[in-house]
Amino acid sequence: MPRTSQLLYPQREPAPLLSAATVLLLRDEDAAGLQVLMTRRSPRASFAPGAYVFPGGGIEPGDAAAHALADHRPQQAGEALTQALAAIRESFEELGVLLARRSDGSWAGADDIAALQRQGDFFAQCAARGLRPAADAMFLLAHWNTDRDLPRRFSVPFFVARMPPLQDAVADDAEQFAPEWVRPADALARHQRGEFFMIFPTVRTLERLQHFTNVQTVLDALADERPLWTSCPRAGLRNGQEERFMEHEAEYGELALTCPDGQIRHELDWQSLRPVPLLNNLQRLTAPNPGVMTGPGTNSYIVGTPESGHIVIDPGPNDAGHLQRLWRAAGGDIRAIVCTHSHPDHFPGAVPLQQLCEQAGQPRPPILGLPSGPDARADSFFRPDRTLSDGELLALAGKGLEAENTHTLEVVFTPGHTSNHVCLLLREDGLLFTGDHILNGSTTVIDPPDGNMADYLDALDKLDALCQTGGVQFILPAHGYVLGEPRAAIAHLKQHRLAREARVLAAMQRLPGGTPAQWVELAYDDVPPRMWPVAQRSLLAHVQRIRSLAPGND
C-alpha cells in the first residue's frame, strides 16, 4: 500500500459493520414475468428513510439459537444459517410472509400466519405450532457491505426465495409500508423518474436481477451456494455530485487509492486544465487528446515532491498548453522525463518539455526510455538521451532527504504493445505505471511487426510476478483511471486475450483460405464494425502467435 505519509487526507476509521440479512421474495407472473416484493421504509427510519427496499433487518441472538428448528441444506451451517433465519424472521415481522413448513411438508398458510404474533418470539411460536422455518428455500444471491463513508454500516447477505403459495404481504405499517410486487426493470425505470427512491445496493441488485426470465433461472444460477457478487461500494464526485461504484467499475480503483477510508472527496471528472492529485507524491495531468484510441486522453504522471524534485512519465503529445501545465505542476523542478514507449501520443512532448526547463534556467532533465525498433512506424521514431535498462532504478533522493521523500522507480522491460515498451514500479508505494501495456476500460492494440502478441503475453506474466513480489496494489495506466486489484486485472486481461485468440483460431479454421478482413468479422463479431480496422491489427498479432505455435514451428 502507499505510505501513509503520501495519502492526501488524514485517515479516519470507518464505522464498524453491523450484521443484518435481507431476502428478495420472488414470483412469476404470466404476463409480467419475474417480480420481486418491495416495500417502503418508514420516513422516520434511521437508515434509508423512505426508500423502497427488500424485507430484512439486523441479526438477533435468537436467530443463532434456532438452527435446530429449521429445515436447511447441508451447506447451510453456522453464520450462513443464522443469516437465513434472520431474513425469514424479518420477512414475517415486517410483511407477514411466513417462510415455514408444517410437519407434513406443506407450506404454512393463512391460519398459521394468523396464529403468530409479529412482535412475539418468532421461533418459539413456530416450534409451538409445529412449523419449521424453511432456510433450505433461501439461496444466497449477493453480499453487500455498506459504504465506508456512512455513519451506520451493515454487512448484509441478500437471499432470494420463492414466495410461498397462497400468502399475501401485509406491511406492519411501523417499519414498512405499501408492499408492492414489481418487475425489476419497472422499479428501475420508476427510480430514474424520481418516483421510486432506492439506495445504491437495491438499484444494483435489481439491475442484475432484471436479466433473469423467471424465478427458476435465478435459483439455478445460485446452485453452487456462492453469491453472484460481493461488494463494498466506494463514492466519488462527478459534476459535483456523489456517485457510487462497485469493484468491477473503472472508477473503483482510483477511489481506493485516493480515499482508502471512504471519504467522498475525489473528483472523477476528466479534464485537462489542471493536474489531479492522486497522492502527495503523485499527480496526473491528462493531455487534451481524447479519442477512440486514447480514451479521455493520454495520462502524464508527475512523481515526487517539492523536496525531492520530480520525474515526469509520458509527457504526451507536443501540446504547448499541456506541457506548460506539466512544468508548473512540477514547480519547474523536473529531474527526468521518462517515455514508456514511442507512440505519438506519449513521447513528442519530451523535447519541448526539456527545452521549457532550460529556458527557465533550470538543469536540462534527461529524456529516458528505449529507442524505437526498426519496425516502428514513421511517426513513432524515438531516440532518448539515455537508454534505460531492465531493472534499473531511478531515484529521487537528495542529500539529507528523509525516507518519506524518497521515490524510487524500477524500470521493467515489457515489449509487446511496442518493441520498446517499459513499465515503471514506484517501489516505496507499490504503484505500477503501465503505459499502454495495461489500460483501464479497454484492451491495448498489438500492431505487428513492431507489436508482438507472444512478447505481450510473456510481459503480462512478468508484471504479475512483479505485483506479487513487489507488493503492487495499484496500476496507473496511460489511459483511464487507476486500477486496483492488479493481479486480478492482469489475469482477466490475459484470459481475455487467450479467449480472443481461440476465436481467431476458430475463424481461421472455418475459413482456411480467408483474409484477415474476413477473419475479423468472425473473431470480433462482438465488437462494433467501425472498430474492425483497428481490431484487425491485433488479429494479425494473434495469427502470428498461432502460426508460431503450430507443429513444426520451433
User: Crossing angle of helices 486-510/453-470, nearest 10°?
Assistant: 160
* 350 and 202 in a common domain: no
**Peptide bond between residue 43 and the one before it cis (omega within 30 degrees of 0):** no
Compare 107 and 47 and report the one with higher pLDDT. 107
Structurally, the chain folds into a number of domains equal to 2
How high is the pLDDT of residue 5?
Answer: 94
The whole-chain average pLDDT of the chain stands at: 95
Looking at residues 85-107, what average pLDDT do you find?
A: 96
Instruction: Tell me what the mean pLDDT of segment 77-94 comes to.
Output: 96
Compute the average pLDDT of residues 71-94.
Answer: 95
Give residue 48's pLDDT: 80
Q: Do 289 and 195 sit in the same domain of this protein?
A: no
pLDDT tier, 235 (very low <50, low <70, confident <90, very high otherwise): very high
pLDDT given at position 31 = 79
Arithmetic mean of pLDDT, 384-406: 87
Residues 356 and 440 in one domain: yes
Specify whether 216 is located in the same domain as 342: no
Rounded distance between C-alpha atoms, residue 147 and residue 58, angstroms: 17
Q: Are residues 96 and 207 part of one domain?
A: yes
Q: Is pLDDT above 80 for 46?
A: no
Q: What's this model's pTM, rounded to 2 decimal places?
A: 0.93
DSSP 3-state of 358: helix
pLDDT category of residue 45 using cuts at 50, 70 and 90 = confident
523-527 mean pLDDT: 95
pLDDT confidence bin for 401, thresholds 50/70/90: low
- Kindly state whether residue 160 falls inside one of the protein's structural domains: yes
112 part of a folded domain: yes
Nearest-angstrom CA–CA distance, 122 and 71: 15
Q: How far apart are the first and last CA of the chain?
A: 42
Tell me: the pLDDT tens digits for 412-431?
999 999 999 999 999 999 99
**Are 220 and 75 found together in one domain?**
yes
pLDDT at 286: 98
**Cα angle value 197/83/260 (rounded, 5°):** 60
- Find the mean pLDDT for residues 273-296: 96
Assigned domain for 243 exists:
no
Which among 77, 91, 69, 76 has a CA at the least distance from the CA of 21?
Answer: 91
- Evaluate whether residue 239 is within a structural domain: no
Q: How confident is the model at residue 399 (pLDDT cuts 50, 70, 90)?
A: low
Secondary structure of residue 484 in the 3-state scheme? strand
Mean local confidence (pLDDT), 301-321: 97
Residue pair 494/488 in contact (Cβ under 8 Å)? The answer is no
Kind of pairing, strands 474-477 and 431-435?
A: parallel
Look at residue 265 and tell me whether its pLDDT is greater than 90. Answer: yes
pLDDT at 1: 84
Task: Show the 3-state SS of 177-217.
Answer: EEEEEECHHHHHHHHHCCCCCCCHHHHHHHHHHCCCCCHHH
pLDDT at 388: 98
Q: Given this model, what pLDDT does residue 195 score? A: 93
Residues 165 and 220 reside in one and the same domain: yes
The CATH number that applies at residue 21 is 3.90.79.10
Answer yes or no: do 199 and 305 share one domain. no
Range of the domain at 190: 17-232
The three-class DSSP label of residue 445 is coil
Residue 312 counted as domain residue: yes
Give the pLDDT score at 552. Answer: 67
Domain assignment of residue 98, yes or no: yes
Q: What pLDDT, on the 0 to 100 scale, is given for residue 553?
A: 62
12 by Cβ neighbours in 10 Å (0-12 / 13-18 / 19+) ranks as exposed
Furthest-apart CA pair in the chain: how many Å? Answer: 91
State the residue for C-alpha cell 523536473: 334
- Chain segment 19-40, per-residue pLDDT in tens: 999 999 999 988 778 999 999 9
Looking at the fold, whether 213 and 72 belong to one and the same domain comes out as: yes
Model confidence pLDDT, tens digit, residues 159-218: 999 999 999 999 888 888 889 999 999 999 999 999 999 999 999 999 999 999 999 999
Q: What is the DSSP string of 92-131?
A: HHHH----EE-TTSPBP-HHHHHHS-TTS-HHHHHHHTT-
Does any domain span residue 240? no
The answer on 191 and 90 residing in a single domain is: yes
Looking at the domain assignment, is residue 241 inside a domain?
Answer: no
Give the pLDDT score at 44. 83
